[in-house]
Amino acid sequence: MDTSLNGKRALITGAGDGIGREIAVAMAREGATVAVHGRSLVRIESTLAAIKAEGGTAIPALADLADEDAIATMCEDALSSLGGLDVLVNNAGIYAIDDTPTMTPETWKSILNINLTAPFLVTRAVYSALIDSGSDASVIFISSIAADAHTNGWGAYAASKNGLNAYMHCLADELGAHGARVNCIAPGWVETKMAQEAHKDMAAAAGVDYDEAYNLNMRGNMLSALLTPDSISDMAVFLASERGRFITAQTLTVCGGNLPGSQIDDSGDD
């Protein structure tokens, strides 16, 4: 057995950069035909080009994940082009740092909409295709160690990721009857644009030096390691492959050994 995905058909949301881009490229490298999702073509051009440069096959899948009708159309088009679906990676996500008194209801709703409702809508739209794929099917949600965070200002993000973990367990039971597997990957801090932006916000709010805060927090794990997106894509490929055939209803943490005070991660990008 190996991690080959030859003949697999995959849809990756938020695949324009960061973790989503790395997962899309890695799965194509292993032989999958990949539908690369982004809000616009310009956001995913580099991912499509990277897959093509390595001899892989990819198609664009465009939709604003805040738009339910756009999600339905995107999924319908992707399924038609791919001829079905074996692997779904719900990666796209957003964040905002706000305490309860200053967070607007609009911000709260937006975070839960993209991070929790959109994965449900995407999954719902491709549900029949996953059942048709049966034991070849694997659904992966990119969650976060933030789901269990007790960190000032991250309430909406943590709530959205905690909800994602709960939904994963229920979906795993639903699809398990058809042989399909459903899991979450919970990253720690990963070196991406989103992580840089989050640290700029946190450093500004705390009145501390950005570079010092970034370097300290990004390596704030037991291995003192700087995690890169391929550390998450390696796990995603494993779960989607034959090697992960008996793993379901699990949240698999990839964080280098989280330490107190480094609870929040970077996950996807929509």
Inter-residue contact 228 to 25 (CB < 8 Å): no
Closest CA to 19 of 264, 198, 229: 229
Question: What residues pair up with 90 in beta bridges, in sequence order?
Answer: 141
| 3-class SS letters over the chain | CCCCCCCCEEEECCCCCHHHHHHHHHHHHCCCEEEEEECCHHHHHHHHHHHHHCCCEEEEEECCCCCHHHHHHHHHHHHHHHCCCCEEEECCCCCCCCCCCCCCHHHHHHHHHHHHHHHHHHHHHCHHHHHHHHHHCEEEEECCHHHHCCCCCCHHHHHHHHHHHHHHHHHHHHHHCCCCEEEEEEECCCCCHHHHHHHHHHHHHHCCCHHHHHHHHHCCECCCCCCCHHHHHHHHHHHHCHHHCCCCCEEEEECCCECCCCCCCCCCCC
Sign of the torsion angle spanned by Cα atoms 82, 85, 87, 91: positive
**Which residues participate in catalysis according to the annotation?**
157
